[in-house]
A and B are shown apart, each in its own frame.
Chain A
């Protein structure tokens, strides 16, 4: 089955680090861009950035540049989103999604990982 399976919900304290994952199956992971989208509680969708696992080419939205790191391990078909020092404002649902072959829209989504940052 073609799918993206995301890691489970996380509860962290401010200042802690975190790495969440998105594992693909059913398609050639190295040949598709994988993006990350944030959804803060009760809010809309925000495009964070995207990576091409084939060569690790990564693009960030200016709003998220320097705030998070996107990476991928093509040997295990998994993309990652990580923070070095979480803030309460990072509390959100994070979705990974696959870009189509030729255009920058997202045709396959993971179910999301809820990250809660609270002291």
Chain B
């Protein structure tokens, strides 16, 4: 089973700042098979990024994904109030299709 480690656990930032979230995998994952999800309190997760860098339908371009091998990054260029949430990465190259533990982006 591939283990995904997200860091930091919590990111305290102000609106307008840049957020950089990390996801490391225990084995190399093809960049085709890495996704990011956003979850707000009391809501279901929402797909943000697939294929490491492709935005899902309706996702603003302030969200971007990058990375390869075992190191992946989600960047939010300028935080909007609605972006404060928990973010999860997921690998879907090898079953079971595991998730990371999440990074909470909170208002500073």
* B47, B93, B95, B96: residue with the most chain A Cβ atoms closer than 10 Å: B96
Q: Which of B10-18, B60-68, B97-105 contacts A (4 or more CB under 8 A)?
A: B97-105
Once the chains are docked, how many angstroms separate the CA of A62 from the CA of B56? 29
CB contact list, A64-97 vs B, under 8 A:
95, 97
Chain A residues, CB < 8 A from B21: none
Q: In the assembled complex, how far is the CB of residue B12 from the closest CB belonging to chain A, in whole angstroms?
A: 19
CB contact list, A35-74 vs B, under 8 A:
37, 44-47, 59, 61-63
B82 within 8 A of A: no
- 1/0 contact trace for A79-119 toward B, CB 8 Å? 00000000000000001010010011111011110000000
Chain B residues, CB < 8 A from A59: 95
Once the chains are docked, how many angstroms separate the CA of A109 from the CA of B33? 19
Partner of B99, one of A44, A110, A112: A44
Known contacts A45-B45, A110-B44, A112-B44; A105 and B95 CB within 8 A of each other: no
Q: How many residues of A contact B (CB 8 A)?
A: 21
Once the chains are docked, how many angstroms separate the CA of A46 from the CA of B100? 9
Q: How many residues of B contact A (CB 8 A)?
A: 26
Known contacts A103-B33, A106-B47; A46 and B92 CB within 8 A of each other: no
Chain A residues, CB < 8 A from B93: 104
Chain A residues, CB < 8 A from B56: 107
Chain B residues, CB < 8 A from A106: 35, 37, 45, 47, 90
Once the chains are docked, how many angstroms separate the CA of A104 from the CA of B99? 12
B50 within 8 A of A: yes
Partner of A109, one of B45, B97, B99: B45
Contact A47 B88, beta carbon cutoff 8 Å: no
